[in-house]
Amino acid sequence: MVGISIDLYIYNTVLLNQRLREWGAKDKELNHKILRSCGTFVGDKYILLNNELWECSPYYTVATLFDSAYKDIAEDSFDIFLMMSKEEGINAVDKEEIAEELGFEVIDETI
């Protein structure tokens, strides 16, 4: 069975910036502009949506922008970098699947 994933990736901003420099993305202002255009900063976290249902998923857009901005210095593609750097993830959930795991049935009422 092939699934389509919708995930929120959460990154520690300090670690993300440190890893960006190590990856070769040394222009802090450009990095912030790219990150801000595709995700959002909340406190000390950077939140990035990966929605495979969208043709222009922010996750792949940010990867493409970083790959283009740093094409001459980056060894690994940026999407690999993003996967290795994430701290946490939140997946879309299926209410019936979760209810089954918890041992009860979901009652859907339509108005």
Whether the Cβ atoms of residue 10 and residue 46 lie closer than 8 Å to each other: yes
Residue 72 in any domain: the answer is yes
Classify residue 52 by its DSSP letter: T
Residue 31 in any domain: the answer is yes
**Model confidence over 45-94: pLDDT tens digits?**
999 988 888 788 898 888 888 888 888 775 666 766 676 667 766 666 67
Task: For residue 49, report the phi and psi dihedrals to the nearest 5 degrees.
Answer: -90, 135
| Cα–Cα distance measured from residue 32 to residue 28, given in angstroms and rounded to the nearest whole number | 6
Instruction: Locate 28 and state its tokens.
Output: 């802090």
* Contacts within 8 Å (CB) and 24+ apart, 27-32: 27/69, 30/69, 31/66
Residue 111 in any domain: the answer is no
73: containing domain: 6-102
This prediction has a pTM of 0.71
Residue 75 in any domain: the answer is yes
| Cα–Cα distance measured from residue 49 to residue 60, given in angstroms and rounded to the nearest whole number | 9
Mean pLDDT score of the chain:
81
| Domain count within the chain | 1
Residue 108 in any domain: the answer is no
